[in-house]
Amino acid sequence: MLNVPSQAFPAPGSQQRVASQGRSKVPLKQGRSLMDWIRLTKSGKDLTGLKGRLIEVTEEELKTHNKKDDCWICIRGLVYNVSPYMEYHPGGEDELMRAAGADGTDLFNEVHRWVNYESMLKECLVGRMAVKPAVPKGLSHEVQENFSVRVIENVGKVDIVLQKRENISWKCLGEPLEKHDSFIPKKDTGLSYRRCQLISKEDVTHDTRLFCLMLPPSTHLQVPIGHHVYLKLSVTGAEIVKPYTPVSASLLSGFREPVSSPNKYIYFLIKIYPDGLFTPELDRLQIGDCVSVSSPEGDFKLSKLQEVEDLFLLAAGTGFTPMVNVLNYALTCMPSLRKVKLIFFNKTEDDIIWRCQLEKLAFKDKRFDTEFILSAPSPEWNGKQGHVSPALLSEFLQRSLENSRVFLCICGPTPFTDEGIRLLHDLNFSNDEIHGFTA
């Protein structure tokens, strides 16, 4: 879109109406008004002389285009051939010539900040300034530590917004680092680790804790829903690595997609096995100690949930962890959803993770419902008991409508997951309708 002026154009006090600091508007020749310029840009005429080709312009080349009939100007990193615009420029040719063959960003910011030159001179675009190889690698100036990242998952676009540390004009962006602008297949990237600090540790059940880790400054780690990371600790001199699935801090805090600000904290629900290798060591960490956290891995595809109406989550023990974010996502971001049912298998009542939160959530959101099934209940338990079985599954996997589009997630100890998937096939659910979280 061109920068078409509004009714109030030129705005009161704008450079088009008044001469500030002694600067005058020059009278334009007949047929050289803004509307004439707009007409010319829309005429399809080659205004750059490059037949639509965009080139990389070096500083040396820019300098050579410094005459009225061959005048290039760099504005905000983009180079324009402004010769065709000369006669249309309200400030006059001489003013434009002040930036001929040079970087005119400061000049334009000073005088024409309100003008959207990117669109006004779109048809005069010659190309981009070439990055100077002599500049040290990376950005040419410092940026602030806090930045924002926006991930638009359905198109695979990632916007990173960096703020300058000093509010000055940058002559160039510096030289891109190695692998800039290249896509590396995930399988070839390997895992990268960052050291995170333990911020808090809270008991959730008698043997399961909620760990909160803080990411190092300037780190952006976004773990896709249903994916896991690896935690790494040194145990008696050896590096031990185990997979864990990040969760939201609570089921009731509501789901927020990490759209702009980078998440500073990452949470894990982890069961401590007293005779285990890794978890007792993790449990011994003091607040302020560090643990390494890897980049994410996993094969769960959110696209599988598209158009799903009934979602069944079958979890056993800490196999509940991948269900947390799936559940949050389903209740907040799936307009097609009618029903989510969590069928949660545990040994005893004391082992049920976030029982109270699950019950509150079921009360709050009528689409959600949970069923606890215990394999080693106390005599007082009057709920369901047993292991995963055909009878239990056919009782609980009821569709909200006969032909509802359904999806099932299952996670827990390997024998539980294997047996569960086998039984789901027996119940005529297809592979496309099931995701098993496995090691």
Residues at the interface with ligand FAD (CB under 6 A): 228, 242-245, 268-271, 273, 275-279, 318, 321, 439
Which partner, ligand FAD, ligand NAD, none, binds residue 276 by CB below 5 to 8 Å per kind?
Answer: ligand FAD
Per the CB < 8 A criterion, the answer to whether 224 and 298 are in contact is yes
Which partner, ligand NAD, ligand FAD, none, binds residue 278 by CB below 5 to 8 Å per kind?
Answer: ligand FAD
Task: Name the 3-class secondary structure at 353.
Answer: coil
Residue with tokens 């002694």: 22
First to last CA, the chain: 52
- Residue 422 CA to residue 439 CA, distance in Å, equals 17
37 versus 345: smaller Cβ distance to ligand NAD: 345
Which partner, ligand FAD, ligand NAD, none, binds residue 9 by CB below 5 to 8 Å per kind?
Answer: none
Which partner, ligand NAD, ligand FAD, none, binds residue 49 by CB below 5 to 8 Å per kind?
Answer: none
Strands 238-244 and 229-235: antiparallel
107 versus 204: smaller Cβ distance to ligand FAD: 204
- Residue 100 CA to residue 82 CA, distance in Å, equals 9
Per the CB < 8 A criterion, the answer to whether 225 and 325 are in contact is yes
Which partner, ligand FAD, ligand NAD, none, binds residue 377 by CB below 5 to 8 Å per kind?
Answer: none
Task: Work out how close the CB of 190 gets to ligand FAD at its nearest, in angstroms, rounded to a whole number.
Answer: 18
What Å distances lie between residue 347 and 143, 206, 316, 375, CA to CA?
A: 52, 13, 9, 5
Task: Work out how close the CB of 298 gets to ligand NAD at its nearest, in angstroms, rounded to a whole number.
Answer: 8
Task: Work out how close the CB of 125 gets to ligand NAD at its nearest, in angstroms, rounded to a whole number.
Answer: 50
Task: Work out how close the CB of 285 gets to ligand FAD at its nearest, in angstroms, rounded to a whole number.
Answer: 13
Which partner, ligand FAD, ligand NAD, none, binds residue 275 by CB below 5 to 8 Å per kind?
Answer: ligand FAD
Q: What residues line the site for ligand NAD (CB under 6 A)?
A: 228, 245, 271, 316-319, 321-322, 345-347, 351, 375, 387-388, 411-413, 415-416, 419, 437-439
181 versus 275: smaller Cβ distance to ligand FAD: 275
118 versus 350: smaller Cβ distance to ligand FAD: 350
**Residue 279: what residue type?**
T
Task: Work out how close the CB of 437 gets to ligand FAD at its nearest, in angstroms, rounded to a whole number.
Answer: 6
Residue 270's closest CA among 224, 233, 335, 319? 319
Sequence-distant (≥ 6) Cβ neighbours of residue 384 within 8 angstroms:
371, 372, 373, 374, 392
| DSSP, residue by residue, 316-349 | EGGGGHHHHHHHHHHHHH-TT--EEEEEEEESSG
Which partner, ligand FAD, ligand NAD, none, binds residue 319 by CB below 5 to 8 Å per kind?
Answer: ligand NAD
Task: Name the 3-class secondary structure at 39.
Answer: helix
Task: Work out how close the CB of 371 gets to ligand FAD at its nearest, in angstroms, rounded to a whole number.
Answer: 21
262 versus 298: smaller Cβ distance to ligand NAD: 298
Task: Name the 3-class secondary structure at 295.
Answer: coil
Per the CB < 8 A criterion, the answer to whether 306 and 202 are in contact is no
Task: Name the 3-class secondary structure at 312.
Answer: strand
- Residue 230 CA to residue 296 CA, distance in Å, equals 8
269 versus 423: smaller Cβ distance to ligand FAD: 269
Task: Work out how close the CB of 294 gets to ligand FAD at its nearest, in angstroms, rounded to a whole number.
Answer: 12
- Residue 268 CA to residue 60 CA, distance in Å, equals 55
Which partner, ligand FAD, ligand NAD, none, binds residue 277 by CB below 5 to 8 Å per kind?
Answer: ligand FAD
Task: Work out how close the CB of 389 gets to ligand NAD at its nearest, in angstroms, rounded to a whole number.
Answer: 9
As given in the structure block, the two tokens for residue 156 are 């695979």
33 versus 414: smaller Cβ distance to ligand FAD: 414
Task: Work out how close the CB of 207 gets to ligand FAD at its nearest, in angstroms, rounded to a whole number.
Answer: 9
